[in-house]
Copies of this chain bind each other. A is one copy, B any other.
Amino acid sequence: MGGDGAPGIVIDGLQRVAERHPGIRLLLVGDEAVIAPLLARSRASAICTVRHAGSVISNEIKGTAALRLRDSSMRVAIDAVARNEALGVVSAGNSGALLALAKIVVKTIPGIDRPALAAISPSAGGDVVMLDLGANVACDSRNLAEFALMGEAFASVVLGLPAPTIGLLNVGSEQMKGDDRIRQAADMLRASPLSSQFHGFVEGHDITAGTTDVVVTDGFTGNVALKTGEGAMKLAGSLLKQVFKASLLSRIAYLLARPGLDRMREWLDPRRYNGAVLLGLNGVVVKSHGGADAEGFAHAVDVAMDMVTHRFNERIRESVSRFEAARTGSVAAERAANASSDEPVASRLATTG
């Protein structure tokens, strides 16, 4: 079990999950001697089974070194997903290790070259999905097109949109902008089954404007853009705090405007956006922020639940088949996709804090 406040915050979070989804079954992976007594005192015990793990992956360890620790809580939880004992995993631990372990142990869905990290962020036009947020520092045009495919499926499941629109992040909206890689990705999307949902290029300010429901970019740019947007919001918040503290009148102003300010803060609450998802794997892998509180962790479990319940990976597989069919011009692949067996869906998840 990892994360800054584990295991206390995780168990508090799972208590909230137990109240919201009494039907869920969770495998809680970590040091049994520590977890079991805490769990016994919590209502989370109604939905949790403990599985012992002998070690924890620290935040300092590199992804490759994490692979060698076969008894770590993260590894034991991910092994449970690979063996189909759990349908997904939620972790608040080391991101690099989670990515490396998930790629090697759970493996990508056939037809998907690389998994991408996606999350939801606020915009004037409602919530938007952004990916990749750092799983792949360098991406080629095919990777970007696959991220669009996965982002579309994610937005339809998590935001409940029937036909999410897709934008490719660039330095300008005109077709000749950017480099070959990004222009080729745009060409692929225009020729794909997603062409009617593909808006074309979007710019940095389009993310918070909500110009499209999905914003696709490489992991370097996405990581920088996400953190830059969060930083700007934080600056705006701290400036506002200064304004309201400046004088007696402004303190009164704060009290008068408080209901609206509280609603605004609630809407922008990072906990509401906690739970970045590693898309494209044979199982649901959700990364909770290491510093998330109980409500934030519970939200990350909600996201994993949503993906399992809405058969997210089935959608990805169908989408990959449609892409393949469009590429080969054959309908054979599409038939195969439609005939694919419905996997039994249960709400089994493994959590490692």
Bound-state Cα–Cα, A124 to B242, Å: 12
**A124 to B171, Cβ gap below 8 A?**
no
Contact across chains for A256 and B260 when beta carbons are under 8 A apart: no
Q: Given B228, B242, B254, which contacts A229 in the complex, CB threshold below 8 Å? A: B228
Query: Is the beta-carbon distance between B227 and A224 smaller than 8 angstroms?
Result: no
The reply to whether B208 and A235 contact each other, CB–CB distance below 8 Å, is: yes
Whether A217 sits at the interface, judged by CB under 8 Å, is yes
**B234 close to A205 (CB less than 8 A):** yes
A230: Cβ under 8 A from any B Cβ? yes
Q: Is A339 an interface residue (CB 8 A)?
A: no
Q: A224-B224, A233-B235, A252-B253 are in contact. List 10 more A-B contacts (CB 8 A).
A: A122-B235, A138-B179, A203-B223, A204-B226, A204-B230, A221-B224, A224-B225, A243-B257, A243-B260, A250-B260
A314 CB → nearest B CB, Å:
31
Q: Say yes or no: A224 contacts B203, CB within 8 Å.
A: yes
A240 at the interface (CB under 8 A from B): yes
Q: Beyond A204-B231, A207-B231, is A169–B264 a contact (Cβ under 8 Å)?
A: no
Taking CB atoms, residues of chain B closer than 8 Å to A221 are 220-221, 224
Contacts of A176 in B (CB 8 A): 62
Report the minimal beta-carbon distance from A291 to chain B, rounded to whole angstroms: 13
Could you give 5 example pairs across A and B, Cβ below 8 Å?
A171-B220, A204-B231, A207-B228, A243-B257, A243-B260
Chain A interface (Cβ < 8 Å from any Cβ of B)? 62, 122-124, 134, 137-138, 169, 171, 176, 178-179, 203-209, 217, 219-221, 223-240, 242-244, 246-247, 249-250, 252-257, 259-261, 263-264, 267-268
A62 to B217, CA, bound (A): 25
Given contacts A231-B209, A250-B257, A256-B249, contact A243 B264 (CB under 8 A): yes
Provide the bound-state CA to CA distance between A14 and B210, in Å: 37
Q: How far is the CA of A18 from the CA of B250 in the complex (A)?
A: 38
A260 touches B242 (CB 8 A): yes
- The complex places the Cα of A217 from the Cα of B225 at a distance, in Å, of 12
Contact A235 B204 (CB under 8 A): no
Q: Which residue of B lies closest to A203 (CB)?
A: B227
Copies in the complex: 2
- Known contacts A224-B169, A240-B264, A243-B261; A137 and B179 CB within 8 A of each other: yes
User: Least Cβ distance of A290 to chain B in Å?
Assistant: 13
- Cα A329 to Cα B223 in complex, Å, equals 38
| Whole-angstrom CA separation of A228 from B215 in the bound complex | 12
> Chain B's nearest CB lies how many Å from the CB of A36?
35
Query: If the complex has contacts A249-B256, A257-B243, are A225 and B228 also in contact, measured as CB distance less than 8 A?
Result: yes
Of all chain B residues, which has the CB nearest A174? Answer: B60
- In the bound complex, do residue A124 and residue B226 qualify as a contact, i.e. CB atoms below 8 Å apart? no
A80 to B223, CA, bound (A): 43
CB closest residue in chain B, given A230: B205
Residues of B close to A252: CB separation below 8 A: 253, 256
Measured in the bound complex, the distance between the Cα atoms of B207 and A224 in whole Å is 10
Q: Which residues of B contact A179 (CB under 8 A)?
A: 137-138, 220
Q: Known: A205-B227, A224-B169, A244-B260. Is A124-B238 also a contact (CB below 8 A)? A: yes
Set of chain B residues within 8 Å of A208, measured between Cβ atoms? 228, 231-232, 234-235
